[in-house]
Amino acid sequence: MVATVRRRLKLISNEEPAGMTVGSIDIIAVGTTNACKVAAVDAAVRGYEVSGANFLDFAAIETHQVSSEVSAQPMTLDETYRGAMNRARNAYAQARAGNSSAVILALGIESGLNWSTVDGRAYDVCVCSAFDGTTFNQGMSCSFEIPPLVLRFVLEEGMDLAQASNAAGVSSNPKLGEAEGLIGILSRGRITRLDYTKQAIEMALMFLDSASLYARPATALPNAVKSTTETASRLATDSLATPLRRLARSKSFSATPTERSALSEASRLDADRRDCIARLCSALRGRCGVPFELPVASLLAVFGAAFGESGPSSNCRDCSHRVDSGGRRTVVVEGRDAVDAFLADSPIAASIGKFILAHDGVSSAQLQVDRAKGQSCLASSL
């Protein structure tokens, strides 16, 4: 479905408007029909008019009902990013199908959860992705903590934030996401959902004013936007200056081939182990049973000994395991000490009495979690 919200025309003429630059945009394709998000786009574009920037003066704002290709309530910042990028890409494709020559800028807007690794609290943030057919540019809004009473319904009942707000008695508006939003209720109207959505859009559009500063290689993706989790995890891992890595760097030009091989293998196992733990901790902050990416190399770096394979973990005596005929692997870790041995990096480890990790033997896994005794819900420990 495509709808044109409004058309900005300062001149009624068939001729090209005076002063229109090469970088002017004909169509702003918005990957949603949510009234609040569309109004935020309109408000953000009006801001460019007021400032005197002319590259959006003649743009038609079109709404496109497209899929985010992520869950209705994104549970992590990575998932929220992917949802925004998918919406932008899909809106661009629809707009381009209807107009082969126009200059199109597509906007994907997605709100989701962002978790603090310091205290385990969940925050709501809006991400806007701007896509011109070649390159994505992202922007984020301010964020606010989701009250534990509301978060409980998100985690345990699988509700989105609007549904959870209604279930918690914070709101009685089933369309809260198209109105002031939870942020509007909590701030007593000082900051509304439109305000924080507009912030994300404005941040994503900063590249329009400073194109040379934001120049980067093309990042167009013909199919679904690939997960950024693996890349982010690898970058984070590579930046860790562990003693092992410092040793590897210092010896890289003087070590013998055998030493270099041993250092390389140890470094790889260390990176894979960190990657596995980071992915498990991230999955724990989402909903149970939701598939997440977990390379088999990372799985084996932590739980390899549990399957009779090589791996540095000394804690595998605390878990049971099995591998079926199809190569699918299942690890069961039960008991406070056992859970802490694997998940000490997660702030909600104390609330877990048992977890079951099911892996397809290739790259996908699912977690099932049982609460520890004395914990009424996982959200209560956040």
pLDDT, tens digit, for every residue of 96-129? Answer: 999 988 999 999 999 999 998 888 899 999 999 9
Kindly report the length of the chain.
382
What is each CA distance from 51 to 44, 46, 47, 209, in whole angstroms?
11, 9, 6, 11
Q: What is the pLDDT of residue 92?
A: 96
Strands 352-359 and 364-371, bridge-based pairing: antiparallel
* Lowest model confidence (mean pLDDT) among 130-144, 338-352, 361-375: 338-352
Q: In what order do the strands lie in the sheet with 2-7?
A: 2-7, 60-64, 27-30, 104-115, 122-131, 136-145
Q: What is the pLDDT of residue 241?
A: 36
- % pLDDT > 90, the chain: 38
- pLDDT beyond 90 at 217: no
Q: What is the pLDDT of residue 308?
A: 55
Mean pLDDT within 132-148 = 94
What whole-number distance in Å separates Cα of residue 114 and Cα of residue 151? 12
Query: Which tokens hold the place of 35?
Result: 């009234």
pLDDT band per the 50, 70, 90 thresholds, residue 218 = low
The answer to whether 30 touches 61, Cβ cutoff 8 Å, is: yes
Which residue, 20, 140, 30, is CA-closest to 78?
140
Cβ-Cβ contacts under 8 Å for 93 (sequence gap 6 or more): none
Mean pLDDT within 137-153 = 94
Q: What are the residue ranges spanned by the domains of the chain?
A: 2-226, 233-381
For residue 299, report the phi and psi dihedrals to the nearest 5 degrees: -60, -50
Helix axes of 35-51 and 193-204: crossing angle, nearest 10 degrees: 50
Mean pLDDT within 305-331 = 67
pLDDT band per the 50, 70, 90 thresholds, residue 297 = confident
User: Tell me, what amino acid is at 95?
Assistant: A
pLDDT band per the 50, 70, 90 thresholds, residue 287 = confident
Query: Which tokens hold the place of 177?
Result: 């996401």
What whole-number distance in Å separates Cα of residue 346 and Cα of residue 354? 14
First to last CA, the chain: 41
Mean pLDDT within 179-185 = 94
Residue 62 three-state SS: strand
What whole-number distance in Å separates Cα of residue 242 and Cα of residue 348? 25
Alpha carbon 110 to chain centroid distance? 9
Q: Using DSSP, how many helices (H) and how many strands (E) does the chain show? A: 12, 11
What is each CA distance from 129 to 69, 110, 138, in whole angstroms?
14, 9, 4
Mean pLDDT within 349-375 = 82
Arithmetic mean of pLDDT over the chain: 77
What whole-number distance in Å separates Cα of residue 116 and Cα of residue 307? 33
Mean pLDDT within 187-194 = 94
User: Tell me, what amino acid is at 296?
Assistant: V
Which residue, 281, 276, 286, is CA-closest to 312?
276
Mean pLDDT within 55-79 = 89
Q: What is the pLDDT of residue 226?
A: 43
The answer to whether 318 touches 333, Cβ cutoff 8 Å, is: yes
For domain 2-226, the question of CATH label 3.90.950.10 is answered with: yes
Q: What is the pLDDT of residue 316?
A: 54
Mean pLDDT within 27-35 = 95
CA angle, 155 then 306 then 301, to 5°: 75
- pLDDT beyond 50 at 286: yes
61, β-bridge pairs: 6, 28
User: Tell me, what amino acid is at 333?
Assistant: V
What whole-number distance in Å separates Cα of residue 102 and Cα of residue 208? 17
Q: What is the pLDDT of residue 283?
A: 80
pLDDT, tens only, 223-270: 444 444 444 334 333 433 333 333 333 433 344 555 445 545 666 777
